Amino acid sequence: MAKDFLDSVWDNVKSILIAVVLAVIIKTSIVEAYKIPSSSMEDTLLIGDFLIANKFIYGARVPFFNWRLPAFDKPQQGDVVIFKWPGDGVTNYIKRCVATEGQKVEVIEKVLYVDEKVYPNPPLSKFTDDRVIPRPAVRESSRDNWGPYVVPKGCYFMMGDNRDNSSDSRYWGPVKDDLILGEAMLIHWSWAPDPKAPEAVVKDPLSVPRLFVYNVVHFFDRVRWSRLLDVVH
């Protein structure tokens, strides 16, 4: 009787371990969810959008080892890419790849040129500032007048679709290949920010249930239903 009980427990433990291992492998190597925290990709991506990203296409990383499997593809112009910010190698960023290695990038009065041709603005990109910021000096650049610059080998030039409000390669340089994580695929959830929502405060034990009740009451208002399962372009 005791043996049967132990066998049953062991079978359950094995099932749980297998499920955990598979979940880790999928999360680290195939797909992963990301939340959009800023407005730099508006209106393509909005604050509160939750994305599923394809990590396999650019070369899946083997869990627990610093190994990377062969990539099926590399980031191309127009891809919306998740990567580690070059500034610290830790923070996840998401931007649009506008140029790859060997291409020349230049911004002239807000217009983006790649290899001396106008790079078309993505359908939902935007400019929020009517000003055109000039160069501060002949050899220096500004947000709206930048470059020219040739993307180094093994690197990618990233820009946000919200061109006037994006911290991107114009400010911190290109993204190296080993920092690339995956390509954005679709929006699986979208939760609109609500400035009236109560905050969860550690010192106030009742703040969590208050927030929970508020979100339940306003659930149907805050979910952006039209964005669910939208493919990212």
Residues marked as catalytic: 40, 95
Residue 161's Cβ-count burial label (10 Å; 0-12, 13-18, 19+) is buried
Residue 210 φ then ψ, to 5°? -65, -45
Specify whether the CB–CB gap between 61 and 28 falls below 8 A: yes
Half-sphere exposure of 23 (CA within 13 A, CB side): 7
Helix/strand/coil percentages in the chain, nearest 5: 25, 30, 45
DSSP symbols for 10-52: HHHHHHHHHHHHHHHHIIIIIEEEEE--SSTTTTTS-TTEEEE
d(CA 151, CA 173): 9
Q: How far is Cα of residue 224 from the mean position of the Cα atoms in its chain?
A: 19
